[in-house]
Chain A
């Protein structure tokens, strides 16, 4: 009995094996049918082999962990895998571990996508791209440094933290921490997008109609600078409008590629005839 217990114990080496499997191949094999399922299974498999030594129970756990799974790969997935390992070690049933996965993947996908892609990446990549456009190699190097180290650290930290927290984690996350982090990320994200969108989206009216008029008996041509008029009403009006249009189309169920097509056509025709510039 005692030996069986020690055999099921997860060692540091097991943990690291699972972590590096997650790092190397987590989203390889991603597909529309079950998304990250095979990558998740690949990451957890060495643990299952240890916690479920019987042939049938291993097969069952193997199959179950090929269920649909999708969350943010950077902030989210390592946390779920870490907590899952703790539950496995504690002898949890497959229902419990599947409950953990399904319960956390949705909320963490929202938090992760907002924090990692919308917020963090938008900031570092806009800084990097602006530097690159001035001809400085420091632009991409800055981004590489701010991707490599923080990404690895945040993934390792989540994974080991979630494992140590183990069973407590599920109740803790249920107790409002996730909601609070989500709200924080959402609000900061919205503020940043409010400032980013007009700074990155460029659209100006280049067309300046000339109107021939007679002023006090003298013929003059008056050139109307439409863009300057718009700026005096609301700066960055056109970028805001075009972003609103894209948002509205997406909300109506258009695919991103279709919206891109519309934007491209508007911009291309407008630019080609010289109306926009």
Chain B
């Protein structure tokens, strides 16, 4: 039974990346969704929501801008939810974060190894072999992405139970580890915002960043309200600017 679940969840990890690279129908690479799907598969939706939601808030705004490598939150959510069901939320989340961090190395290797496909594509192009190229794309182009996530998930679930039991008792003996992880989890989203700010010209528009902060910190406007106010303020700004340009 464990092997079957391990295979299904490995397939989910594969699908999560394929979906992001191709159709982007479900954004399963995001921990909120992969946690939810894992919860459905293993029959503990609440755990999936908790683990997925917690990781999602940590990963908010963290995206692969320009091909940057980010922690592997989808694998983190899958494993966190799976082990959380057996051993509780604390253990699940304490496993999810290190798992996500560990697999960042795999992502870098994966993005490097994919050069194989461009070089084969060059050969197909030189021979005018579009059929061969299509075959490579359909059958193989997603394999390194998919298996580099699916295999770790499969191994962790198929052989991880004794290890996880050991880890659980370890965390119970040293509660300060969980305290440390929960504080770290609270500040990790700072990275996402920093990445966003880096691709934006803050020095050109510093006032708008401050406006958003004031609306939240002092006026206590909920986030959706800030977004709507943001659209209104920007429209006014652009209209005034346009009028000025027109003379």
Contacts and interface: CB of A to CB of B under 8 A. Distances in A.
Interface of A: 23-35, 37-39, 41-42, 45, 49, 55, 58-59, 62-63, 66, 70, 73-74, 109-110, 113-114, 117-119, 121-123, 125-133, 135-137, 139-140, 143-144, 147-148, 151-152, 180, 183-184, 186-203, 234-236, 239-240, 242-243, 245-247, 249-251, 255-257, 259-260, 263-264, 266-274, 276-277
Given A125-B32, A239-B190, A243-B190, A272 B63 contact: no
B201 A186 contact: yes
13 contacts: A28-B137, A33-B118, A42-B133, A59-B127, A143-B27, A144-B26, A147-B26, A186-B205, A188-B230, A193-B61, A267-B187, A274-B179, A276-B183
Identify the interface centre among A41, A147, A180, A268: most chain B CB within 10 Å of its CB: A268
B69 interface: yes
Contact of B216 (A139, A199, A266): A199
Interface of B is mostly: helix
A27 B191 contact: no
Contacts of B181: 268, 271
A200 B238 CA distance: 29
A146 to B, nearest CB: 10
Contact of A199 (B137, B223, B233): B223
Given A189-B196, A263-B188, A267-B187, A132 B56 contact: yes
B167 interface: no
Contacts of B237: 187
Nearest to B26: A144
B208 A190 contact: yes
A162 B100 CA distance: 39
B180 A269 contact: yes
B199 A110 contact: yes
Interface residues of B, number: 108
Contacts of B201: 186
Contacts of B184: 263-264, 266-268, 271
Contacts of B62: 256
B32 A242 contact: no
B63 A113 contact: yes
B92 to A, nearest CB: 14
A133 B53 contact: yes
A34 B125 CA distance: 15
A18 B63 CA distance: 27
Given A147-B24, A271-B179, A274-B179, 15 more contacts: A25-B21, A27-B22, A30-B21, A143-B30, A188-B230, A190-B202, A191-B212, A192-B226, A243-B193, A250-B198, A256-B69, A259-B191, A263-B188, A267-B185, A268-B181
B163 interface: no
Give 7 closest A-B pairs by Cβ, nearest first: A194-B212, A271-B183, A267-B184, A202-B186, A31-B114, A132-B53, A246-B194
A29 B35 CA distance: 26
Nearest to A45: B130
Nearest to A140: B36
B121 interface: yes
Contact of B238 (A38, A126, A139, A180): A180
Contacts of A235: 217-218
A147 B141 CA distance: 24
Interface of B: 18, 20-27, 30, 32-33, 35-36, 45-46, 49-50, 52-54, 56-57, 60-63, 65-71, 97, 101, 104, 111-115, 117-118, 121-122, 124-128, 130, 133-134, 137-138, 141-142, 145, 176-177, 179-191, 193-202, 205, 208-218, 221, 223-224, 226-227, 229-231, 233-234, 237-238
B193 A193 contact: yes
Given A114-B199, A268-B180, A260 B188 contact: yes
Contacts of B113: 31
A225 B44 CA distance: 40
Identify the interface centre among A58, A147, A180: most chain B CB within 10 Å of its CB: A147
A132 B36 contact: yes
B36 A58 contact: no
A195 B22 CA distance: 32
Contacts of B197: 193, 243, 247
A188 B56 contact: no
B21 A129 contact: no
Identify the interface centre among A127, A187, A235, A268: most chain B CB within 10 Å of its CB: A187
B212 A62 contact: no
